[in-house]
Structure 1
Amino acid sequence: MTCLLLPPHPASVSTARRWAAPLLESLPADVRHPVVLVVPELVTNAVAADEAAGAADDIEVELVVDPPHGHVVLAVTDASDRPLPPSPAHVPGEEDGGRGLLLLDILADDHGWTPRPCGGKCVWALFRCTPVQRRTTTPQRLECADAA
């Protein structure tokens, strides 16, 4: 598990993405790329939630990369007690935002949120992977499980 504390500021979005990318380098692209896309989306939502709540608390980004058990977990905290809204079914092309939860629905195998005892919430995403059995003696490689 690796954690990063960030101020609730828009510049934290790119910082979080740059922080997460090297932590995921050992994973295959079909696992790594979705996680790298979701990290800035969840941090963007946390920054907006903290601004709306008038909070100056740091945003905590937690990343658990666990290839032996076949998953990656991303968790991002914010100061808002408001529940995670439902994902939109469609976002008009001319809109500047509103796609984060839609991307989360599409890219993560599971996601949700939990209230924090000290206030605020934690939004999490799970990316499942399964080991692929090789016919040779080479080490196993992780690939995403089929969505079907």
Structure 2
Amino acid sequence: MTCLYLPPVPASVGAARRWAAPLLPPDVRDDVVLVLSELLSNAVTHATGAPGAGAGAAGGVEEIEVEVVVDPGGGHVALAVTDPSDQPLPPAPETVPAEADHGRGLLLLAALAQDHGWAPRAGGGKCVWALFRRPRVPSRDGRAGARGPAVVRVGCAGA
């Protein structure tokens, strides 16, 4: 198992997409990678080491942790992004002005993930997570069957 740790810089978003995409089942890959991009972009923006952002004791910027878990039974994919910011996840806005450059990430999260949330970490920071249920694959007789091939867990143990 591997875990992806990234510095809170914009280039980390692309690195995380390239890391996660081959690990994901094709039927949910696009949605998971898009939500990963949004969550990591938010983490990069808010994990700057500024006062109150949850930076390390020495005032330095801590890394962001990304975890992807693919259910071995094929039923779901879970995504978690942990950053050093203690700021709670705000509610998704009702609307975003068309001319706005930012502000759609939480709307995408709510639209694409079947469930999502966040939790504070005991040592500081927070973990934002999203759950994606995989569509059922019809069996040979036309009834709903398995959700696709089983794959192994990837990411960090105990994250």
- Contact 2:74-2:146 at 8 Å conserved across structures: no
Q: Please give the alpha-carbon distance, in whole angstroms, between the structure 2 residues aligned to 1:80 and 1:23.
A: 27
Please identify runs of 4+ aligned residues in structure 1 that moved more than 3 A: 139-142
Equivalent position to 2:122, from 108, 117, 126: 117
- Contact 2:134-2:147 at 8 Å conserved across structures: no
Q: Note the residue ranges of structure 1 that are not aligned, 5 or more in a row.
A: 143-148
| Counterpart residue identity of residue 45, structure 1 | N
- Contact 1:67-1:129 at 8 Å conserved across structures: no
Residue 71 of structure 2 is matched in structure 1 by 66
Q: Calculate percent identity across the aligned residue pairs.
A: 66
| Counterpart residue identity of residue 137, structure 2 | V
Q: CA distance change for structure 1 residues 67 and 130 in 2, over 3 Å: closer, same or farther? A: farther
Secondary structure of 1:127's partner?
strand
TM-score after normalising by structure 2: 0.79
Residue 11 of structure 1 is matched in structure 2 by 11
| Deviation readout 1:29-83 (Å, 9 max, x if unpaired) | 3x22110111110000111120252731000000001151501000001111111
Q: Please give the alpha-carbon distance, in whole angstroms, between the structure 1 residues aligned to 2:83 and 2:68.
A: 15
Equivalent position to 2:36, from 39, 43, 51: 39
| Counterpart residue identity of residue 70, structure 1 | G
- Displacement of 1:135: 1.9
Richer in strand (by share): 1
Residue 135 of structure 1 is matched in structure 2 by 140
- Displacement of 1:141: 4.7
State which drifts further: 122-131 or 72-81.
122-131
Residue 45 of structure 2 is matched in structure 1 by 48
Q: CA RMSD in A?
A: 1.9
- When the two structures are aligned, how many residues end up with a matched partner? 137
TM-score after normalising by structure 1: 0.84
RCO higher in structure (CA 8 A, sep ≥6) = 2
